[in-house]
Structure 1
Amino acid sequence: MKTLKLILLTLLVVTVFSCQESTSEQKEVSEPVTEIRNDIEKVEPPNWWIDFKNKNVQLLVKHPSIGNATAKINYSGVSLVKTYQADSPNYLFLDLEISEAAKAGQFNITFKLKDGSELTQTYELKSREKSAEDFKGFNSSDAIYLITPDRFANAIPNNDSVEGLLQQGVNRTDDYARHGGDIQGITDHLDYIEDLGFTAVWPCPVVINDMPSGSYHGYAMTDFYKVDPRFGTLEEYRKLADDLRSRDMKLIMDQVANHCGLEHWWMKDLPFKDWVNYQENYEKNRDNWDHKSTKTSSHRRTTNQDLYASKSDYQEMADGWFVSGMPDLNQRNPFMANYIIQNSIWWVETLGLGGIRQDTYPYPDKTFMSDWAGSIMTEYPNFSIVGEEWSYNPLLIGYWQDGKKNKDGYKSNLKSTMDFAMQKHIVDALNEEESWDQGLVKMYEGLANDFAYASPKDIMAFLDNHDKSRVFTEFKGNIANTKMALSYLLMMPRIPQIYYGTEILMDDFDNPGDHGLIRTDFPGGWEGDSVNAFTGEGLSAEQKDMQSFLTKVLNYRKSSEAIHDGKTKHFAPENGIYVLARISENETVVHIINKNESPQELDLSRFEELELNGKSLKNIISRENITWSNSLKLSSKGSLILTTKF
């Protein structure tokens, strides 16, 4: 018995000693952080996460004379693989490998400078808040509400002007000045957006644009990791995302890989000689910069697909600056490429995004854009990205969608593109007089072009946005045409996007197409507004009717399997009437457009293949029931939406 006790005691001592030895070894590898140190001017990304598929992250380090420093990291599971000097002595790039053994926590990066001094920066690895598969992107079951944040609602007037920024104050009488809308203004009105029937919100960029003018629109970023304080804080941005998720809604982030703002912090000290395109020209003319100082883009986007395009034409399109105030980023520089990809992933993870909208998609290096989209989709297999291809040619739109078998072998990894072509077809179809080659046939043949797309239902369709004239203006104030267009948009095999204010017939009649006027203030978003669209106070009868109409269609669409994923069948327009059907196993939805001013009797025998004869259908607007038999009376111009689902 004594012998057994002695053996057990010996084992206990050995176990304790082994544990102490293991802890001692861990301390030698992972130095505990007892004090947060931020000696370095800038490290980006500002933090990272464990458990990514890609185990590598590249840190950009910016600090005076940091380029000659040696870096050291002692943290279990994290290896400093390589350091890179830049052309500027004030940058250092660090390649880190984060193994599966790495734990969330903080660790120090120590930099020993050439003069023997040391600087320390505390860096954090975080645990991921949800699995990669749980990042659900937008799809054809969603309806997206696009907002220009500066013009939607001003919840926090105290942040309207921020000391130290180049553009100060607000002026709501100037369409190109800041008006004061902010992130909290969106959050405060999520009830309104949800009640309308939208399932996703896409705000134009809220990342800082510290530009001397025109800073309200958000597309000239001056720091890719910082929220513009005039819009709010990162915490408020996260709260918007969290509040949307709590409603089973999604936040789509507007990002820009092609360019930054001229006042971006790195433009004063560019890391490499090829960080931006036409950099040498910029640096020579920096002190006297104007719109003639650099090569601007030719905007000939077809050079991406053109088998006969000259190299000079392609280079001018890809490398030229979008405008003189927006430097064109050189994604062929591998450090810039890593920077942009990591920035996108950082925002997806930080906000728990439900999608990305990528601005000016055809303008950056297209090989890089494939890598960019592929890197994101590899990490988040259920995610969604939509790219802006402003073209009315379906061949160009379809080229960018993943799954398209392109003649040049290009694979985009991009799930969705924007359907500018269909937008034009719908507007033309309803504005034109009816004839064999005009009017509704434009809409019909536009949808017939879906054979060119790898996945039509994953394309984002719209009628207006922050760059195009308001749809009510496009239809010259014709409410019936506006309703027909919107209902058709919401019935098509697409992901629909609607611009804020379309639901109350906002317009730009005074100067059609003017960007500042298109992005006008939403009534009720500012204290003292005489009209409040959120409550209905002061709206005209026509505006309230449009709000009600869209609310009914959008909320029906939310639960319609036929509209989300059903088969599509349409019938060539005849006598100013166009019929589109969406069909699933348990539901058929029929959308009828009647452009005639006088009542019409529609012969239903032509639609026998829909197998609706004798069935009861419900009008989703009036809630009235009809029986599908020999004919259907169309009492007035407009759209009729019927469903077999009760």
Structure 2
Amino acid sequence: MKRVLSIILLGVLMLSLSCNPSNKKADEIIGKSEPVIEKHEINRVEPLNWWVGFKNKSLQLLVHHPNISEATPSINYEGVTIEKVQKADSPNYVFIDLNIPDGTKAGKFNIQFAFKNGEVKEHTYELKSRLKPAEDFVGFDSSDAIYLITPDRFANGNLDNDIVASMNETSIDRKDGYKRHGGDIEGITKHLDYISDLGFTAIWPCPLLTNDMSEGSYHGYAMTNFYEIDPRFGTLDDYLELSSKLSEKGMKLIMDQVANHCGLEHWWMKDLPFKDWVNDQEYYEKNKDHWNWKTVNTSNHRRTSNQDIYAAKNDKEGMTDGWFVATMPDLNQRNPFMAKYIIQNSIWWIEMAHLGGIRQDTYPYPDKDFMSNWAGAIMHEYPNFSIVGEEWSYNPLLIGYWQEGANNKDGYDSNLKSSMDFAMQKNIVEALNEEESWDKGLVKMYEGLANDFHYATPKDIMIFPDNHDMSRIYTQLNGNKVNTKMALSYILTLPRIPQVYYGTEIFMDDFAKPGDHGLIRTDFPGGWLGDKVNAFTGEGLNDEQKEMQTFLKRILNHRKNSKAIHEGKTVHFAPENGIYLMFRMGKDETVVTIINKRSEKFDLDLSRFEEIGLKGKTLKNIVTGDTIVWNDTLALTEKGSMILTTKL
């Protein structure tokens, strides 16, 4: 009889549990909960997944499916609640605001969508556990040296993904600078030893997300899916492996992101959720079937309108609302759903790929209040992270405006740790190309650095000899190898975060057509089967190219462990007699950078530098290994640079 009663009671208990599957106490009595039967009956839900344990407990899901606005969504998962369901202008979208409080467990659950006709569709969503604390997402800083790569042009590690038949651009043509060449993520991963041995501590690949455009898709800046690695570059697993391999080497992965625009072939351009999802949308909708690049409202590129107290409204709107180019729709970050979409996408990639930083393209072009919110949201979640924004300006006032801590007259706080020093880059090139005079030549480098009083934290600004959008530094310096080495010597010892473009170490150039983007982004020799020259191994390189690799390798590897360069005090002396000296001083080391434009032998009087306190000390040349004693004079035998250290 007791056994019969026990069976009856157990049956009653099971019946009550089936009516209340979220009852935690009942689950504990049984000891397990029913597994989720995965279903993916909805076309698109983004973000693709999320994590528990964020400071911000809210998550907004973009859901895209035919007539999804007619459906009522529901979730039955302990801790997760639907706060709000918001329809869009298109009936094929809904936005679901979720609350995910502390204590919510990682796991999978089904979102049910009940349509008015009685049909029910389900989509399985996952909340993952975070694999490391937010504080451990450490970004790049002045102790790093960053290697910039155009992935399509660096190395082809996987021949099988060169052509994807389902995509709009399917041709491979290495002779055409604007066609795809086949470089990919695997090609980068296979050559991390080369990059690490050179002395770089971080890599910044140009965007790797899907660019399903009909042409020019190789560069990556016209994204057509913000949650997908371009299959011609590889898979998400390939990207995660790259990040993991970098981490094993103590290196960082910086992701190139674009908040300003997308590609014209982005999936949502065929069914825009709101009437103001992109700027100039009404015009686009009327003309999209015969889109004419000549009539689109392209940006006026008046970046100063962000700060100009006299700027006309027309100029401001032309800057922020105009399309960057006709094939790149300008995203409207003033739409709150778009704003949240971009912020969540950035956080998704940081968490998914354990990024060591973000480089944000075309930083001054989006709505600047949004950009402050975007950077602020990221830094709120990851307090030790780093973001650098591209501000292509030669005016230090504009560069400094975007950096966090700037004392801006309009009160603007960017939340942006780092901006790019195009002004100093230009000063360096002009200083080395010009003949010396009281207002030309090395004085431009000196006065460029003297502008650091304007920056909140100069050492957090990114400096570079060149990048993927400008002529190679060797070309800018008219093929002068000595001047190229001087530029690198100065850049790598400045109070800055240095970035070097791939191929600089072998004097890559674009002399055939200076400034041509396809030529600037030339294939790295050795990255393709059959290459007669292999810069990774040294095979086929001439002596000057090999020597340049060694030159950079010795400076960069010394720089890795030099706190004097990372964070030391800076003192420089105004150029005299075509010679300019900069000192970087730490507790245990002083580094001296000498830039000498004189061709004839010259004895440099060292008494002028007495305040540095080096008299009688032995210093070593970082590149050659030779030592000198710092006494009365220093013999400079030829034009060039010299980097000396007190660390023997």
TM over 0.5: yes
Deviation at 1:27, TM superposition (A): 3.5
Partner of 2:102: 100
Separation (CA, whole Å) in 2 of partners of 1:45 and 1:152:
30
Partner secondary structure for residue 72 of structure 1: strand
Deviations 1:216-260 (A, max 9, x none): 000000000000000000000000000000111000000000000
2:254 pairs, out of 248, 252, 256, with 252
Partner of 2:128: 126
What amino acid is aligned across from residue 127 of structure 2 in structure 1? L
Partner of 2:390: 388
Partner of 1:215: 217
Query: Is this contact kept in 1: 2:161–2:231, CA < 8 A?
Result: yes
Separation (CA, whole Å) in 1 of partners of 2:465 and 2:151:
19
Deviation at 1:21, TM superposition (A): 8.8
- Regions of 4+ moved over 3 Å: 17-34
Partner of 1:204: 206
Partner secondary structure for residue 229 of structure 2: coil
TM-score, normalising length: structure 2: 0.96
Partner of 1:644: 646
Deviation at 1:367, TM superposition (A): 0.3
Partner of 1:55: 57
Deviations 1:14-48 (A, max 9, x none): 9xx99999999664579844311000000000000
The 1:127/1:633 distance shift into structure 2, 3 A limit, reads same
Partner secondary structure for residue 402 of structure 1: coil
Query: Is this contact kept in 1: 2:17–2:23, CA < 8 A?
Result: no
Partner secondary structure for residue 197 of structure 2: helix
Query: Is this contact kept in 2: 1:76–1:101, CA < 8 A?
Result: no
Partner of 1:5: none
Deviations 1:499-520 (A, max 9, x none): 0000000000000010000000
The farther-off stretch of 615-624 and 522-531 is 615-624
What amino acid is aligned across from residue 617 of structure 1 in structure 2? L
The 1:196/1:19 distance shift into structure 2, 3 A limit, reads farther
Q: Kindly indicate whether residue 515 of structure 2 is the aligned counterpart of residue 513 of structure 1.
A: yes
Q: Kindly indicate whether residue 39 of structure 2 is the aligned counterpart of residue 37 of structure 1.
A: yes
Q: Kindly indicate whether residue 248 of structure 2 is the aligned counterpart of residue 281 of structure 1.
A: no
Partner of 1:626: 628
Q: Aligned-residue CA RMSD in angstroms?
A: 1.6
Deviations 1:166-203 (A, max 9, x none): 00120000000000000000000000000000000000
The 1:20/1:617 distance shift into structure 2, 3 A limit, reads farther
Q: Kindly indicate whether residue 354 of structure 2 is the aligned counterpart of residue 345 of structure 1.
A: no
Equivalence map 1:258-297=2 (5 Å):
258-297=260-299
1:415 pairs, out of 417, 420, 424, with 417
The 1:448/1:20 distance shift into structure 2, 3 A limit, reads farther
Partner of 1:188: 190
Q: Kindly indicate whether residue 139 of structure 2 is the aligned counterpart of residue 137 of structure 1.
A: yes
Separation (CA, whole Å) in 2 of partners of 1:132 and 1:582:
33
Q: Kindly indicate whether residue 427 of structure 2 is the aligned counterpart of residue 428 of structure 1.
A: no
Deviations 1:43-72 (A, max 9, x none): 000000000000000000000000111000
The 1:487/1:19 distance shift into structure 2, 3 A limit, reads farther
Deviation at 1:293, TM superposition (A): 3.1
1:612 pairs, out of 590, 611, 614, with 614
What amino acid is aligned across from residue 191 of structure 1 in structure 2? D
Partner of 1:112: 114
Partner of 2:559: 557
What amino acid is aligned across from residue 78 of structure 2 in structure 1? S
Partner of 2:177: 175
Deviations 1:475-510 (A, max 9, x none): 111010000000100000000000000000000000
Partner of 1:463: 465
Separation (CA, whole Å) in 1 of partners of 2:640 and 2:13:
81
Partner secondary structure for residue 237 of structure 2: helix
Deviation at 1:292, TM superposition (A): 2.1
Query: Is this contact kept in 2: 1:470–1:508, CA < 8 A?
Result: yes
Separation (CA, whole Å) in 2 of partners of 1:23 and 1:607:
83
Separation (CA, whole Å) in 2 of partners of 1:139 and 1:300:
30
Q: Kindly indicate whether residue 331 of structure 2 is the aligned counterpart of residue 329 of structure 1.
A: yes
Equivalence map 1:526-565=2 (5 Å):
526-565=528-567
Partner secondary structure for residue 216 of structure 1: helix
Deviation at 1:335, TM superposition (A): 0.2
Separation (CA, whole Å) in 1 of partners of 2:545 and 2:566:
28
Q: Kindly indicate whether residue 247 of structure 2 is the aligned counterpart of residue 240 of structure 1.
A: no
Deviation at 1:114, TM superposition (A): 2.0
Separation (CA, whole Å) in 2 of partners of 1:19 and 1:33:
16
Separation (CA, whole Å) in 1 of partners of 2:468 and 2:87:
41
5+ long unaligned stretches in structure 2: 1-8, 28-32
Partner secondary structure for residue 424 of structure 2: helix
The 1:20/1:37 distance shift into structure 2, 3 A limit, reads closer
Deviation at 1:547, TM superposition (A): 0.4
What amino acid is aligned across from residue 426 of structure 1 in structure 2? I
Query: Is this contact kept in 1: 2:22–2:78, CA < 8 A?
Result: no
Separation (CA, whole Å) in 1 of partners of 2:168 and 2:15:
57
5+ long unaligned stretches in structure 1: 1-13
Deviation at 1:585, TM superposition (A): 1.2
Query: Is this contact kept in 2: 1:68–1:85, CA < 8 A?
Result: no
Separation (CA, whole Å) in 1 of partners of 2:154 and 2:295:
36
Partner secondary structure for residue 285 of structure 1: helix
Deviation at 1:311, TM superposition (A): 1.0
Query: Is this contact kept in 1: 2:22–2:76, CA < 8 A?
Result: no
Separation (CA, whole Å) in 2 of partners of 1:88 and 1:275:
11
What amino acid is aligned across from residue 79 of structure 1 in structure 2? T
Separation (CA, whole Å) in 2 of partners of 1:62 and 1:28:
31
Tell me how many residue pairs correspond in the alignment. 631
Separation (CA, whole Å) in 2 of partners of 1:442 and 1:301:
24
The 1:20/1:491 distance shift into structure 2, 3 A limit, reads farther
Partner of 2:578: 576
Deviations 1:303-344 (A, max 9, x none): 000011111110010000000000000000000000000000
Deviation at 1:423, TM superposition (A): 0.4
What amino acid is aligned across from residue 456 of structure 1 in structure 2? P
Query: Is this contact kept in 1: 2:579–2:595, CA < 8 A?
Result: yes
The 1:63/1:19 distance shift into structure 2, 3 A limit, reads closer
Partner secondary structure for residue 98 of structure 2: strand
Partner of 1:367: 369
Separation (CA, whole Å) in 2 of partners of 1:604 and 1:18:
91
Query: Is this contact kept in 1: 2:36–2:109, CA < 8 A?
Result: no
Q: Kindly indicate whether residue 498 of structure 2 is the aligned counterpart of residue 496 of structure 1.
A: yes
Separation (CA, whole Å) in 2 of partners of 1:394 and 1:387:
14
Separation (CA, whole Å) in 2 of partners of 1:22 and 1:625:
81
Partner secondary structure for residue 590 of structure 1: strand
What amino acid is aligned across from residue 369 of structure 1 in structure 2? M
Query: Is this contact kept in 2: 1:26–1:76, CA < 8 A?
Result: no
Partner of 1:523: 525
Partner secondary structure for residue 245 of structure 2: helix
What amino acid is aligned across from residue 490 of structure 1 in structure 2? L
Separation (CA, whole Å) in 2 of partners of 1:101 and 1:475:
59
What amino acid is aligned across from residue 262 of structure 1 in structure 2? L
Query: Is this contact kept in 2: 1:33–1:107, CA < 8 A?
Result: no
Separation (CA, whole Å) in 2 of partners of 1:38 and 1:19:
29
What amino acid is aligned across from residue 570 of structure 2 in structure 1? T
Query: Is this contact kept in 1: 2:469–2:517, CA < 8 A?
Result: yes
Separation (CA, whole Å) in 2 of partners of 1:481 and 1:80:
62
2:168 pairs, out of 155, 166, 169, with 166
The 1:75/1:605 distance shift into structure 2, 3 A limit, reads same
The farther-off stretch of 135-144 and 97-106 is 97-106
Partner secondary structure for residue 536 of structure 1: coil
Partner secondary structure for residue 408 of structure 1: coil
Partner secondary structure for residue 331 of structure 1: coil
Separation (CA, whole Å) in 1 of partners of 2:513 and 2:353:
37
Deviation at 1:361, TM superposition (A): 0.1
